[in-house]
Structure 1
Amino acid sequence: MSNTIDTAKLALIPQGAAYGLLIGLGVLFCGVILLAVKVQRAYLSEDSGKSEMFMVANRSVGTGLTASAVFSSWMWINETVLAAAMCYRYGLALPLWWGSGLCFQIALMAALGVMAKIRVPYAHTSLEIVRMRYGKIGHLVFVVLNLVNNVFGCASMIMTGSQLIYGVSGINFVAATILIPLGVVLYTAVGGLKATFLTDYLHTTIALILIIYFTLAVLTNSAVGGLSGLYDKVVATARENYISGNYDGSLLTFKSKGAIIWGLILKFGNLALVVMDTAFWQKSFATEVRATVPGYSIAAIAVFGIPWGLGTVIGLAARAIHNTPIFPTYPGDLTSTEVSMGMVMPYTLKALLGDKGIIGFFFLLFMALTSTVSSSMIAVSSILSYDIYKTYLNPKMTDKKLVRVSHLSVVIHGIFITGISIAMNYGGANMTWINYLRPVISCPGIIPLILTLFWSRQTRLAAIVAPILGFFTGLSVWLATAKSMYGAVNIDTTSNEYPALYAAIASFFSPALYSVLLSLYNPYKFDWREFLRIELTDEAQLHAASDTSTLNEGVESNEEDTSSALKDPKSSVNSMSATIQSEPKHDLDPERIHALGKKPSTTTSPSISTIQLNLDDIQHPFDDATLKELYKWLKIACVSFVVLFLVTVVVWPLPLYRDYIFTKSFFSGWTTVAIIWQFGAFGAVVIYPLYDGRHAIATGARGIWNASKNCFNRGPQSGSRN
């Protein structure tokens, strides 16, 4: 492999300890989540054996847990390990650009999530929306785009983790690649989406504690000397740490061409990873009406401080000590391959914190990896089971069988991404190259998918053809630019910034042009009411009525008993006869009912016939008050997105892009704010979810306590009878 390093001289931790940590953490988290699933089922009436719970967590997740789950899903290895490596390469401008490349995408997803609730209130996946609007071909095109994005993103993270584990301990990367997703497959297959929410919270808590610890421990280490000492050491080693493309070659300037180009590429790639990842859509579908925008907004703001604070401190500290005897590579240089693999952070932690630093790094690595993998698994599982198997192979399958297929899909996805990760390892890929490739293959579907919810005039032809043309446009620009500028097309030439940036721009913007031109060629206006034809599952209705029957139980009997005149409380429609019953709307939103503990007046709700209904007869399942509230949240989400984008991309960083080297006082204030931001993130996504979910926690705790008392009380009684 071209991305290997010599681990014989750099074994930071024994292989046996590394195997023990990797396997032990997997088993531990699997046990914790399985226990949590049992508590949910026993005391909170949340049964992951039903598809509505497995896929969208009964659409009942609150603000705090939403924020924590989104934060965790978005806290990839890149935001921690690679942010430090790129700060080492480009200077302190890079971590801020990285942070700004994480925020507005999540804010945009908040707006998309609210609009999806308005347009398609009971969708399970974003692909279900595409199928309703563009039919089978459009659906299959976006299935491929979403699968490629999910599989590629997840496999690249596993590949990155295996490379880091190999670099730190010498564990064979194939073994590491197999072990990383193993435990995740088990608890995701059993627990479903709510299990990933719970494990995301645990991951977030542990990871943030470690991030704050690493930042402060490195900064206050005697070899660094605090903010003042770090600044002085970076200035003292300025000549040997000269950065081409930075103002005066300084690490302490914001005027860095490499950093801003990297930041732009990152923004395009991360936008694709959010919008084209069904996991983020599913999390928005799973939230309560009032929780989507606040939850996503909290996560968007909180995640900013992670690469900013950690990347700045670790990256600059590595520059300050990399030519000293305490650094693992001394007296050799830290090679470009090692930087691209992300080895800057583990080397620095080993040098300054010793073995405990490497053990903590293993924990952080595990948290970031498993969070990403679990989110991807539930997303791909939903695509395979719901969008492919149920849609095209077995439309009448029962809810129980759908969940079984979902479990099997998790296992299949785990095996598949393991194979892809191993193949990429053997192919010589690394994190840097992966970040350059990702926008090319993921960006073409972004604008057509957004227009699916926001522009009624995008035609079926435009939605199908525009992403395909966009992909080939971006790929052509990438390869042609690499050939023109560097004379060849290979891993090395395509790992340069300019070809990747031009390709990302072409992949993102060209589909917009193609979509508009193709839509204007043969104009058509889509009626948004068509989205309300998406079948409301029996589970959504029966869960709202606190029933425990399954999604499609009795489908066959419903088909036989077509003369029944049951009335659907959501659409006020008799689905069997398709005659409309005039009836005032009621607030029967299952999310609101679940939150308030109410029950609807009717207890039966057969499937809606999506073919026979006239559009004029279809009523929105939400009442006017709920729709008004959703439109209010949509405005808030759009304003938040614009403000966050302008502040983090324009107003804050661009004025600093000038001939200026940070003074000691400015650098101290800059880094202090970044560290404070980390503590703020901890409060927002670790402490606040405990308060927000205090009632559910109390209910579960009371259930466990009562069960324990009953168990102990039965013991002596049964003994006395004997």
Structure 2
Amino acid sequence: MSNTIDTGKLTLISQGAAYGLLIGLGVLFCGVILIAVKIQKLYLSEDSGKSEMFMVANRSVGTGLTASAVFSSWMWINETVLAAAMCYRYGLAVPLWWGSGLCFQIALMAALGVMAKIRVPYAHTSLEIVRMRYGKIGHLVFIVLNLVNNVFGCASMIMTGSQLIYGVSGMHFVAATILIPLGVVLYTAVGGLKATFLTDFLHTAIALILIIYFTLAVLTNDAIGGLGGLYEKVAATASENYISGNYEGSVLTFKSKGAIIWGLILKFGNLALVVMDTAFWQKSFATEVKATVPGYNIAALAVFGIPWGIGTVLGLTARAIHNTPIFPTYPDPLTDTEVSMGMVMPYVIKALIGDGGIVGFFILLFMAITSTVSSSMIAVSSILSYDIYKTYLNPQVTDKKLVKVSHLTVVIHGVFITGISIALNYGGANMTWIGYLRPVISCPGIIPVVLTLFWSRQTRLAAIISPILGFFTGLTVWLVTAKTMYGAVDIAATSNQYPALYAAIASFFSPALYSVLLSLYKPYTFDWRVFLRIELQDEAKLHADSDSATPNDSGDENTETSKGNEITKPVGNTPTEKPINNNDPERVGGIDEKAPLKTPPSLAVEQQSLDDIQHPFDEATIKELYRWLKIAIVFFVVIVLVTIVAWPLPLYRDYIFTKSFFSGWVTVAIIWQFGAFGAVVIYPLYDGRHEIATGARGIWNSSRRYFGKRGAT
């Protein structure tokens, strides 16, 4: 296999320790989340047995936890491991390009998320929005696009992790592939989306502590000698570290053709992984009205510093010591296969920190992979259960049955992605090749999805056809360019940068052209009020199902006569004569029309005039959402201009970093790491202090009652 190394000569940790860590961490997180789910249900009135809680966390997640969860979902193992490897390959320009290739997508998702709250306030998935606008065929097309994106992204992370575990310990990658998602499947199936928010917070806290530790421990090691020592060692080995395409071949220059091409490919691929990943949409649906934009933008700023800091320090450290006796592979050189697998980071940690550092690396690896896998599992589960099962297989499903199906689909997805990961391993793929392939298969749906919320004139035909044409355009460009430039169509030829870059550009931009042309062919203007029917035909029925005393009541639209059904009562000050004008996204007002008992709710909604449908949010809330939309758009534009244009481009010149400039550069990156820790670990604790206090009081009071009874007996 082209993606493996000979671990018979070198293992950084024993197989027994690797098995123990994988199994132990999985069991530990299962236990933590089971306890958390129990506390939520007993003391915070949050029941993951209800679909609204399982899928969108009752739309009640605050700013701090949102920022932590988004950060964790976007803190893929690539951002640490591969950032160091690509810094080793192309120089210090890569980590900054990597950071800029992470943050603007989250900023864009903030704008999309708040627009979704305005247009479709009660959606559960992005695909639900597509179905309402483009019908069954459009829905099925985007189901395939989203599933491919989610499954491919998740499987590639498991594949990457299994290869790293194999490289570090010699554990067979099939065993690692099975063990990595096992614990995640269990706690995700039990806890739902809110469980992933909570475990995301734990992942984030532990991973950031380890990232900061590794960065500082490597820098302060006697073999490196701080920032000045690192610079001097890298500068002294310039002749043996010559990089073709860099200014004077230096790793200390920002003028690097390889780095900027890699950065562009990364930006396209990451944009697809956010916009086409229903996990990021679900997190925006799960947030409070005022939490979406600040939560996402805090995460966007925080994530910038992760690859920048650790990628720069560990990548350049590898350049400084890879030909010295302390490096694990010495006297053998570091091979391209090892770099592509991401072995640069564990080799540096083993050389400078030792066995304890490798254990820490293993934990970091587990944290980063499982946080990605858990959010992917909820996303795919929602697609399979809500967009496929409920929509096409069993429209009359009760809320309780829907949650059971969601649990089952989490398990099915876990088994499926495990199989895909094993197939990718046996096919010879590695994380570098995966990074080149990802934009080709994920980018074609981006612009059609964005236009679904922002352009009323995109037609059904355009939305259906343009991403399909875009995919084949990108794939054709990729393969033809590889054949033309390198004479073959295989993993080696398609692992080159130029075919991947041209293919990413074609996959991203061509659907915009196709969509506009097809929309102008037969013009049509969509009425945004149609989206409000989601609240009527889906949300109202779903709550009626969950609150009915018997399964026979779930389809009864005349809810005033349903036994035990209390949802027709006004919530707060909501007037009963305007049942859908309800400001509480967790509850739905009753339906006044005296429809026959056998009339399906969806049919009654379809027959209702759009002029009679009112937005469920009041005018003040809608005005507040539009204010947040303006803030999100401005922030997105600013972050693109700063991180892609104003900051890096002036450095792309004939210049090699001086010692003082390099020291300042890395110092700022390290400060950014601490800022990220404060933003997505400390701030969420402060933001959720009332819920934490409530849960703590509940546990304390229950403990006192329990031990009091034990003492009395």
So what's the TM-score if we normalise by structure 1?
Answer: 0.94
Match of 2:695 in 1: 700
**What does the per-residue CA deviation read over 1:413-446, in whole Å, with 9 as the maximum and x for residues that have no partner?**
0000000000000000000000000000000000
Letter in 2 for 1:328: P
The Cα of 1:535 is off from its aligned counterpart by 3.5
Q: 1:289 to 1:171 in 2, by over 3 A?
A: same
1:714 counterpart = 2:693 = no
Q: 1:209 to 1:563 in 2, by over 3 A?
A: closer
1:19 counterpart = 2:14 = no
**What does the per-residue CA deviation read over 1:665-718, in whole Å, with 9 as the maximum and x for residues that have no partner?**
000000000000000000000000000000000000000000000011111212
1:550 counterpart = 2:542 = no
Q: Is the CA contact (8 Å cut-off) linking 2:254 and 2:652 kept in structure 1? A: yes
Distance in 2 (alpha carbons) for counterparts of 1:329 and 1:711: 58
Q: 1:424 to 1:552 in 2, by over 3 A?
A: farther
Q: Is the CA contact (8 Å cut-off) linking 1:540 and 1:590 kept in structure 2? A: no
1:308 counterpart = 2:308 = yes
Match of 1:169 in 2: 169
1:678 counterpart = 2:669 = no
Match of 1:320 in 2: 320
The Cα of 1:2 is off from its aligned counterpart by 1.1
Distance in 1 (alpha carbons) for counterparts of 2:429 and 2:7: 18
Runs of at least 5 residues in structure 1 that lack an aligned partner in the other structure: 575-580, 594-599
Distance in 2 (alpha carbons) for counterparts of 1:453 and 1:553: 38
Q: 1:241 to 1:390 in 2, by over 3 A?
A: same
Q: Is the CA contact (8 Å cut-off) linking 2:548 and 2:554 kept in structure 1? A: no
**What does the per-residue CA deviation read over 1:592-632, in whole Å, with 9 as the maximum and x for residues that have no partner?**
x9xxxxxx9x7899967421210001000000000000000
Match of 1:30 in 2: 30
Query: What SS does the corresponding residue of 2:606 show, helix, strand or coil?
Result: coil
The Cα of 1:167 is off from its aligned counterpart by 0.2
Task: Spell out structure 1 runs of 4+ moving beyond 3 A.
Answer: 535-543, 551-556, 558-570, 581-587, 602-609
Match of 1:597 in 2: none
**What does the per-residue CA deviation read over 1:43-62, in whole Å, with 9 as the maximum and x for residues that have no partner?**
00000011000000000000
Match of 2:662 in 1: 667
Match of 2:433 in 1: 433
Q: 1:671 to 1:551 in 2, by over 3 A?
A: farther
Q: 1:630 aligns with which of 619, 625, 640?
A: 625
Where in structure 2 are the equivalents of 1:133-144 lying within 5 Å?
133-144=133-144
Q: 1:478 to 1:624 in 2, by over 3 A?
A: same
**What does the per-residue CA deviation read over 1:511-543, in whole Å, with 9 as the maximum and x for residues that have no partner?**
000000000000000000000011448878999
Letter in 2 for 1:619: Q
Letter in 2 for 1:234: V
Distance in 2 (alpha carbons) for counterparts of 1:400 and 1:380: 19
The Cα of 1:563 is off from its aligned counterpart by 9.1
The Cα of 1:562 is off from its aligned counterpart by 4.6
Query: What SS does the corresponding residue of 1:611 show, helix, strand or coil?
Result: helix
Match of 2:418 in 1: 418
Distance in 1 (alpha carbons) for counterparts of 2:702 and 2:337: 56
**What does the per-residue CA deviation read over 1:251-301, in whole Å, with 9 as the maximum and x for residues that have no partner?**
000000000000000000000000000000000000000000000000000
Where in structure 2 are the equivalents of 1:127-138 lying within 5 Å?
127-138=127-138
Distance in 1 (alpha carbons) for counterparts of 2:299 and 2:614: 34
Match of 2:249 in 1: 249
The Cα of 1:586 is off from its aligned counterpart by 6.1
Match of 1:613 in 2: 608
Match of 1:445 in 2: 445
Where in structure 2 are the equivalents of 1:570-609 lying within 5 Å?
583=578, 588-590=583-585, 609=604
Letter in 1 for 2:63: T
Match of 1:653 in 2: 648
Q: Is the CA contact (8 Å cut-off) linking 1:398 and 1:553 kept in structure 2? A: no
**What does the per-residue CA deviation read over 1:342-385, in whole Å, with 9 as the maximum and x for residues that have no partner?**
00000000000000110000000000010000000000000000
Match of 1:77 in 2: 77
Query: What SS does the corresponding residue of 2:290 show, helix, strand or coil?
Result: coil
Q: Is the CA contact (8 Å cut-off) linking 2:569 and 2:590 kept in structure 1? A: no
1:456 counterpart = 2:456 = yes
1:388 counterpart = 2:388 = yes
Q: Is the CA contact (8 Å cut-off) linking 1:86 and 1:315 kept in structure 2? A: yes
The Cα of 1:559 is off from its aligned counterpart by 4.4
Distance in 1 (alpha carbons) for counterparts of 2:9 and 2:670: 34
Distance in 2 (alpha carbons) for counterparts of 1:246 and 1:98: 17
Distance in 2 (alpha carbons) for counterparts of 1:340 and 1:151: 22
Could you say what the CA RMSD is over the residues aligned between the two structures, in angstroms? 2.2
Query: What SS does the corresponding residue of 1:154 show, helix, strand or coil?
Result: helix
**What does the per-residue CA deviation read over 1:543-591, in whole Å, with 9 as the maximum and x for residues that have no partner?**
9xxxx98267667436457595996869x999xxxxxx86599662336
Q: 1:530 to 1:385 in 2, by over 3 A?
A: same
Distance in 1 (alpha carbons) for counterparts of 2:578 and 2:313: 63
Q: Is the CA contact (8 Å cut-off) linking 1:398 and 1:552 kept in structure 2? A: no
Q: Is the CA contact (8 Å cut-off) linking 1:52 and 1:551 kept in structure 2? A: no
Match of 2:534 in 1: 534
Distance in 2 (alpha carbons) for counterparts of 1:91 and 1:559: 62
**What does the per-residue CA deviation read over 1:71-102, in whole Å, with 9 as the maximum and x for residues that have no partner?**
00000011010000000000000000000000
**What does the per-residue CA deviation read over 1:24-63, in whole Å, with 9 as the maximum and x for residues that have no partner?**
0000011001110000011000000110000000000000
Q: Is the CA contact (8 Å cut-off) linking 2:558 and 2:591 kept in structure 1? A: no
Distance in 2 (alpha carbons) for counterparts of 1:498 and 1:387: 38
Q: 1:455 to 1:573 in 2, by over 3 A?
A: farther
Match of 1:331 in 2: 331
Distance in 2 (alpha carbons) for counterparts of 1:656 and 1:256: 10
Distance in 1 (alpha carbons) for counterparts of 2:313 and 2:554: 63
Query: What SS does the corresponding residue of 2:241 show, helix, strand or coil?
Result: coil
Distance in 1 (alpha carbons) for counterparts of 2:109 and 2:292: 9
Query: What SS does the corresponding residue of 2:10 show, helix, strand or coil?
Result: coil
Runs of at least 5 residues in structure 2 that lack an aligned partner in the other structure: 562-566, 594-600
Q: Is the CA contact (8 Å cut-off) linking 2:574 and 2:581 kept in structure 1? A: no
Match of 2:564 in 1: none
1:2 counterpart = 2:2 = yes
The Cα of 1:9 is off from its aligned counterpart by 1.4
Match of 1:578 in 2: none
Q: Is the CA contact (8 Å cut-off) linking 2:579 and 2:591 kept in structure 1? A: no
Distance in 1 (alpha carbons) for counterparts of 2:554 and 2:300: 45
| Aligned sequence identity (%) | 82
Distance in 1 (alpha carbons) for counterparts of 2:36 and 2:553: 35
Letter in 1 for 2:634: V
Distance in 2 (alpha carbons) for counterparts of 1:622 and 1:101: 35
**What does the per-residue CA deviation read over 1:5-36, in whole Å, with 9 as the maximum and x for residues that have no partner?**
01011110011011101110000011001110
Letter in 1 for 2:680: V
The Cα of 1:450 is off from its aligned counterpart by 0.4
Match of 1:596 in 2: none
Match of 1:224 in 2: 224
Q: 1:620 to 1:408 in 2, by over 3 A?
A: same
Q: Is the CA contact (8 Å cut-off) linking 2:212 and 2:674 kept in structure 1? A: yes
Distance in 2 (alpha carbons) for counterparts of 1:714 and 1:521: 76
Q: Is the CA contact (8 Å cut-off) linking 1:122 and 1:536 kept in structure 2? A: no
Where in structure 2 are the equivalents of 1:281-292 lying within 5 Å?
281-292=281-292
